[in-house]
């Protein structure tokens, strides 16, 4: 599910401007690295689920931590259908 959300967002941004999808991927990569390095710095929005905001795009990386593994629950647009991803938990 999260992978499909990522692919859809990249395709949409690519349709808006050349290279914008790539820039979105760079921001996702930064968010994943930040969340992996400092998971507790991201606010907990549900029990065991944290949100890492992207710097330039209205998206949040929603994730949990299982041992040393970051488990991405959603790549969520922050202005659409809040909490649509809750049934994935």
Print pLDDT tens along the chain (89 aa). 889 999 999 999 999 999 999 999 999 999 999 999 999 999 999 999 999 999 999 999 999 999 889 999 999 999 988 776 777 77
Question: What is the distance between the alpha carbons of residues 57 and 75, in angstroms, rounded to a whole number?
Answer: 11
Q: What does DSSP assign to residue 5?
A: H
* pTM, full prediction: 0.88
Instruction: Give me the CATH topology for the region 2-79.
Output: YaeB-like fold (3.30.2310)
Q: Burial, 81: exposed, middle or buried (Cβ in 10 Å; 0-12, 13-18, 19+)?
A: exposed
pLDDT at position 27 is 97
Q: What angle do CA 78, 80, 81 make, to 5 degrees?
A: 115
Q: In sequence order, what E strands does the chain have?
A: 44-46, 49-53, 59-66, 69-77
């Amino acid at each position: 599910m999260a992978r499909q959300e990522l692919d859809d967002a990249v395709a949409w941004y690519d349709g808006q401007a050349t290279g914008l999808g790539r820039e979105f991927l760079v921001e996702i990569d930064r968010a994943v690295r930040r969340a992996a390095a400092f998971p507790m710095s991201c606010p907990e929005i549900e029990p065991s689920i944290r949100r890492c905001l992207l710097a330039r795009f209205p998206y949040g990386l929603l994730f949990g931590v299982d041992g040393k593994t970051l488990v991405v629950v959603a790549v969520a647009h922050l202005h659409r259908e809040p909490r649509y991803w809750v049934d994935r938990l």
